[in-house]
A = this chain, B = another copy of it.
Amino acid sequence: MRITQEEIAEIAEVSRGTVDRVLHNRPGVNKDVRLRVNNIIKALDYTPNVAGQALVCRKRNLFFGVMISPNIQTSIEEVRREVFIQVEELRAWGIELNIEVTTASNASEQLKQLDCLLKQGIDGIAIAQVFEKSVAEKLNELMANGIPVITFYQDLDNIRRICHVGQDDSKAGEISSGLFDLILPRNSKVAIISDFSEFICQKYREEGFFRRLRSSGSSITVVESAENLGQDLLSFKLVSEICKKYPDLKGIYITGTGAEGLGKALKSSEMHSQVQVISHELSPSVIKLMEEGIVKFSICHNPLRQGSMAIQLLFKFVFRKIKPVNEKYYVEPDIITYECL
């Protein structure tokens, strides 16, 4: 049987009210009493019964904002479905959690949405990609005002947040490189295409890729590493050029978006049956290329699971005041092949 406030009050020879005040750091309690009660709380390892809290807190509703960017390559409907499951689960416990899912593809949109959420009185924010410093600053401001922020999917340096939920990109890069060694003949030439190599995740993926090549003594040579700036047209051009330059190219590792342009280039160069492609995530264009047999593997970090993890951590923090123990949480990478779809 767990310890209750009532019991603490009894032991400390005070009333429940006082215990409550101590627990919530509210003023109006003698220093000595506070210390005594606090000691008992610690000694008996008291933790509140969440059911009791849930029952009381039926008055005020919670309100979270989930901000995603198109880059997470999952449809907003899917995110909503995932969110719905969690909201329903909490509803069963009598807790009304409202979650507004918005999508933005640039900084100014994000800022506008943040302002809108703030006006409605937000209790917490999970954000999948922070586009610019201006947004980061805004989020820092929120944190300073006691509104918790969790970043997921893509992190940013110098941003204040209670934690980050993401993937181990460097490991993902290692896995890709290992996969190439399994499917390519010896001494193969491989090219790497990123969209913006400055994006942390892509930088780490590439790093991991190279690290394993070295450490495993792989025979693969990376002949080119180019940026398509997230544009399919540029992607097409780049890959076409590379194909011309290296007619014996055997593999392409695409760490970000732009798979569609890549696919077209391979087909128009008639290299699509010779070049094996490994990509990340499961955008519609990647799925299509898998069905066509051009993309052989895609390494995914279920953005849905990341999102729901973020919401759970956010809820725990807001409702139960439990701070995430880790600064970063990783979801395991999923290796996807055509048969997995």
Contact = CB atoms under 8 A, between A and B. Distances in A.
15 contacts: A1-B58, A2-B96, A47-B92, A50-B94, A51-B51, A54-B93, A55-B55, A92-B320, A171-B339, A177-B339, A178-B338, A179-B337, A182-B183, A334-B335, A335-B337
Nearest to A316: B92
A339 B212 CA distance: 9
B55 A182 contact: no
A61 to B, nearest CB: 9
B337 A334 contact: no
A49 B93 contact: yes
B52 A94 contact: yes
A296 interface: yes
A45 B296 CA distance: 48
A175 interface: yes
A230 interface: no
Chain A interface size, as a band, is 35 or more
A155 interface: no
Contacts of A50: 51, 92-94
A252 to B, nearest CB: 15
Interface string A172-212: 00110111001100000000000000000000000000001
A340 interface: yes
Contact of A49 (B94, B177, B178): B94
Nearest to A59: B1
A313 to B, nearest CB: 13
A318 B320 CA distance: 26
A269 to B, nearest CB: 22
A93 to B, nearest CB: 5
A339 B178 contact: yes
B337 A96 contact: no
